[in-house]
Each structure stands twice: as C-alpha cells, then as structure tokens.
Amino acid sequence: MSTIDSSMGRYSLKAEHAGNHIQGSIAINDEGGAQLTRQEFDEHDLDDVINNVVYPVTGGNRAIANAFRERMVDAGFDVTHQH
C-alpha cells in the first residue's frame, strides 16, 4: 500500500491507498508550522487528489500541485484511473 506524509511550504499532505481509492488530508500551516486548517479527502485516483484537492487548497498553485504529484508518484501511487 502506498503512503505519503510530505510537507511543502505551508502545506502538508498525508495520504494512503485504501483499496481502490486514496484517502488522506491536506493542511495549511502558519509560518511557525502550527496547523491553521485541515481538509480530509477520499478520491478515486492520483489525478483526482491533485485536481480536486491539492490544486484548489493551494489557491491554484500549479508548481506546488505538480511537486506533490511527483512525490506521490515516487511514493508508489498509481497514475492510471481505477474507476
């Protein structure tokens, strides 16, 4: 099972494969690292996590969304749709 626990700038992403979907959370932290807000998610695949969760939460920051995607691929998350 693939898992990730990664931080980038003010954002922290935790996710794991749970059967045929990916569940986890993304948090926005303050400058000191304290959590300001956290959003849980349960999506079908890697692209859904990036497009439906990471991209909107980061305010449309494509660089951060793409970097998290690369980290998830490196952690073993599948890039194909599993519907």
- The contacts of residue 74 (CB under 8 Å, 6+ apart) are none
Task: For 6-39, write each residue's pLDDT tens digit.
Answer: 999 999 999 999 888 999 999 999 999 899 999 9
Rounded mean pLDDT of the chain? Answer: 93
Percent of the chain with pLDDT over 70: 95
Residue 81 has pLDDT above 90, yes or no: no
Is 81 inside a domain boundary?
Answer: no
Is 48 inside a domain boundary?
Answer: yes
pLDDT given for residue 1 in this prediction: 78
Q: What domain range includes position 59?
A: 3-74
Residue 82 has pLDDT above 70, yes or no: no
pLDDT given for residue 33 in this prediction: 86
- Enumerate the H helices of 2-61 as residue ranges: 46-49, 55-57
Is 10 inside a domain boundary?
Answer: yes
How many separate domains does the chain show? 1
Is 65 inside a domain boundary?
Answer: yes
